[in-house]
Amino acid sequence: AQSVTQPDIHITVSEGASLELRCNYSYGATPYLFWYVQSPGQGLQLLLKYFSGDTLVQGIKGFEAEFKRSQSSFNLRKPSVHWSDAAEYFCAVGGGYQKVTFGTGTKLQVIP
């Protein structure tokens, strides 16, 4: 069965500092991997996705993620966090036309 683990429930970073959110997945075949961001009471916005090819993928808002098959990881990074990045971030895994399985999310707090 596919699953996603986000070990950090809550992370606090200073504005301007770098960010890395961890994600580990379990999937039987080549995974399709996603990162979504959700502000309180809002919908899901896709930050980036990995299907194949280059293992370092660039997304919107200056985010990037690196797929590491050997570690079953797909960590999200941003070099310099802005106050507007405060939100909840969900890693997700799916494949083809199958369901997407989400992690439990990491809430990001940005302090001045």
Partner 1 sequence: EPEVTQTPSHQVTQMGQEVILRCVPISNHLYFYWYRQILGQKVEFLVSFYNNEISEKSEIFDDQFSVERPDGSNFTLKIRSTKLEDSAMYFCASQPRSSYNEQFFGPGTRLTVL
* Bridge partners for 32 per DSSP: 94
Q: Closer to partner 1 by CB, 104 or 109: give it.
A: 104
Residues that bind partner 1 (CB under 8 A): 32, 34, 36, 41-44, 46, 49, 51-52, 90, 92, 94, 96-105
Beta carbon of residue 56, minimum distance to partner 1 (angstroms, whole number): 18
Beta carbon of residue 40, minimum distance to partner 1 (angstroms, whole number): 10
Contact 60, 48 (CB under 8 A): yes
Q: Closer to partner 1 by CB, 38 or 72: give it.
A: 38
Question: Which position has the token pair 């961890």?
Answer: 22
- Tokens (6 digits) for 47: 């930050």
Contact 13, 81 (CB under 8 A): yes
